Amino acid sequence: MRPALLPSVPVAAGTTLVTGGTVLDGTGAEPREGWDVEVTDGVVSYVGPPRPAAARADRVVDAAGRHVLPGFVDVHVHLTMPNGRRVAQQRAAFAEEHAFDTAESLRLTLEAGVTTVRDLGGLTPGYRTAIAKGQIAGPRAHLAIALLSPTGGHADPVLPNGTREASSTWEQVASWAVVDCDEDVLRAVRGLVRTGADVIKVCTTGGISTLADSPEDLGLSEHEVRLIVSELARRGGRPVAAHAQGAAGALEAVRGGATSLEHGYEMPDELVEAMLARGTVLVPTLSTLAMAPDPAVTPAAVVAKKREWQVRGRDAARRAIAAGVPVALGTDAGIHPHGSNLAELGRLVDAGLDPRAAVRAATLGGAHVLGLADRLGSLEVGKVGDVVVLDVDPLAAPHALADATHVRVVLQSGRVVTSRDGR
């Protein structure tokens, strides 16, 4: 299998020293108080107690009294869905307005300490290129580009009256693909690979937020997921992420070979056992699940579904975590506000993860899902120099990180991309 691509970002030449903080390296190891992290030419070159060689650093970040972590990884975002914009505004906006909204979402995500994301529908490779060139600020991005589902499924933008959802009307590259047979599936997958997808996202169930289907409804089948996995293997291999809320479709996704289960809002024993046997990662998106629907702008049927599935989803996450199913942090940002990504950390703790395990799920665990655990996700020598400095202890107060202002400094490949104080 081909190694996963590490998206490029601008790199700081020379050495950046983050000194005197309490280091949580993302591996699950004990915190180390008063340690230094050095990043040389974009790569971690030292992690440990202070040493005299540090005096030669080109840039120094004083982290005394603060906590130092790897850059966070959010493996489920939708960066082309802007904060706060209503459907009528979306329909009236020009293409460049959508582009600037997306650039703002990228910036907010980076300022929240998330240095790497997996966008599961909407973001196109042009944004990844702009980030690599330094034209806009944003996290490294692995892309799905589009969601695959059958006619009438979760990703089908055609409404019952034949019109299309507003979000599908301005896209230069469609964020959806309707597939109803093997030929459709193969054509869609090959097209996405050609366009530059790093991951293929499939919908094996309906959804809470869509009017025409529900989480119990089935989408792509086990056979179709298996076909996608096989086709990707022929092309060097890429992961498959499965939107799966109800248990029946989730089980089909796992049995078909999906790498990760997105949402997983029902978790019977059979599904838990299948995930454990195959090493399938759960991305529970608890922050989005917890959001109260606004009855003023949300159809009553969707409000009712959301209230019912909030209870099921919280219970499912607890069951999966208690059973030892591997978990990675994903927020579904775009539904959940961009820039509040780390609210998910506290929710993972509420669902039963030990705080240190929650930090690992938000760093090295996410890197593992992307196939990049050998290159990022922890503060270890030889890995990418993404470093975050917090003014709160994420183990003692994980819920505080819902407020991004606690993220004081963000380094991406050794370059200071966010600094909220003069230290």
Residues paired with residue 38 on neighbouring β-strands, in sequence order: 17, 46
Helix (H, G, I), strand (E, B) or coil at 228: helix
pLDDT at 168: 66
Question: Are 143 and 129 spatial neighbours (Cβ–Cβ below 8 Å)?
Answer: no
Residues paired with residue 72 on neighbouring β-strands, in sequence order: 114
pLDDT at 1: 65
Lowest model confidence (mean pLDDT) among 29-38, 228-237, 263-272, 305-314: 305-314
23, 157, 346 from 161: Cα distances, Å: 56, 11, 41
In angstroms, the CA 35 to CA 64 distance is: 9
In angstroms, the CA 71 to CA 389 distance is: 9
User: Which runs of consecutive H residues, i.e. helices, occur in 23-156?
Assistant: 87-92, 95-111, 125-133
Q: Is the pLDDT score of 370 beyond 90?
A: yes
In angstroms, the CA 304 to CA 133 distance is: 45
pLDDT at 237: 93
Q: What is the pLDDT of residues 214-247, one digit of tens each?
A: 999 999 999 999 999 999 999 999 999 999 999 9
Q: Is the pLDDT score of 170 beyond 80?
A: no
Q: Is the pLDDT score of 423 beyond 60?
A: no
Q: For all residues of the chain together, what is the average pLDDT? A: 94
In angstroms, the CA 182 to CA 339 distance is: 39
Helix or strand (DSSP H, E) at 369: helix 364-370
pLDDT at 160: 81
Q: Is 120 exposed, middle or buried (0-12, 13-18, 19+ CB in 10 A)?
A: buried
Region 373-388 average pLDDT: 98
Q: Is the pLDDT score of 67 beyond 70?
A: yes
106 vs 295, more confident: 106
Provide, rounded to the nearest whole percent, the portion of the chain with pLDDT above 90.
83
Residue in 362, 345, 406 with CA at minimum distance from that of residue 26: 362
Q: Is the pLDDT score of 205 beyond 80?
A: yes
Query: How does residue 86 score in pLDDT terms, banded at 50, 70 and 90?
Result: low
pLDDT at 85: 67
Question: Are 409 and 419 spatial neighbours (Cβ–Cβ below 8 Å)?
Answer: yes
Residue in 279, 276, 210, 277 with CA at minimum distance from that of residue 246: 210
Q: Helix 300-323 to helix 269-278 angle, to the nearest 10 degrees?
A: 60
Query: How does residue 54 score in pLDDT terms, banded at 50, 70 and 90?
Result: low
Q: What is the pLDDT of residues 5-26, one digit of tens each?
A: 999 999 999 999 999 999 999 9
CATH class of 72-370: alpha beta
Query: How does residue 53 score in pLDDT terms, banded at 50, 70 and 90?
Result: low
Instruction: Quote the pTM value.
Output: 0.96
Q: What is the pLDDT of residues 105-136, one digit of tens each?
A: 999 999 999 999 999 999 999 999 999 999 99
Q: What is the pLDDT of residues 329-366, one digit of tens each?
A: 999 999 999 999 999 999 999 999 999 999 999 999 99
Q: Is the pLDDT score of 294 beyond 80?
A: no
Q: Do the domains 72-370 and 15-70+379-419 match in fold?
A: no
Q: Where are the domains of the chain?
A: 15-70+379-419, 72-370
- Is the domain spanning 15-70+379-419 CATH 3.50.50.60? The answer is no
